[in-house]
Structure 1
Amino acid sequence: MSNEVRDELLTVYAAMILHSDGAEITSERISKLTAATGAKVEAYWASLFAKLCKNQDLNEILSSCGGGGGGAAPAAAAAAGDAGAGDAGAAPAAAKVEEEEEEEGMDFDLFG
């Protein structure tokens, strides 16, 4: 992990700790928390994140993160269920064809 990524993560975690504690997120408090880890973080990170968090609803930001993956699978399954409702054997055949196509892709050789 690069120093820049480490510094950013430490700063983000410090801001999240302050938010979780209900404390105001300031550059001084972020700097204190990152210093308490024993790591030396570039000074601009604390002021950058303090400005970023100012006047923001962090509860809204944190609650809107993640959980977006995998949404298409149930919709695709429902569509397949509607299409094959009259023919019970059609869905397994389609699954088998897709499986065979995936297996064919496994023969790729980077060096050959």
Structure 2
Amino acid sequence: MARKKRKPSKLSRLASMIGRDILAARGSLLAFELLYKLVAAGLLSSAAGALVALLVASSGSAAINNDAIATFAATPRGLLTGLVAATLAFAIAFTEQAGLLVIAGRQAKGQPA
């Protein structure tokens, strides 16, 4: 008895189309990813440097120990700094994903990425 050939599901067809679009745009996606990572690393390292400078200035000494970091983190300024850092990290991650989706979407429409 011959088995009927099953039609691919909508999900597998969608995954196949997405895979083709990503492969077609891989050069643009890679260039964007590398450039974005460089910019994000520059921003985050600058922010980390500013935070260390703030900690050193508020401690009054040339070095910071773990107790000073924990004490700073428990202050309102430390909590606000943590909140800003977390918000910045999420904003960077979500902006990166949005950029990658725009490039892939333009490729899917046949527009230059």
**Normalising by the residue count of structure 2, what TM-score does the alignment of the two structures yield?**
0.29
Higher helix share: 2
Which structure has the bigger radius of gyration? Answer: 1
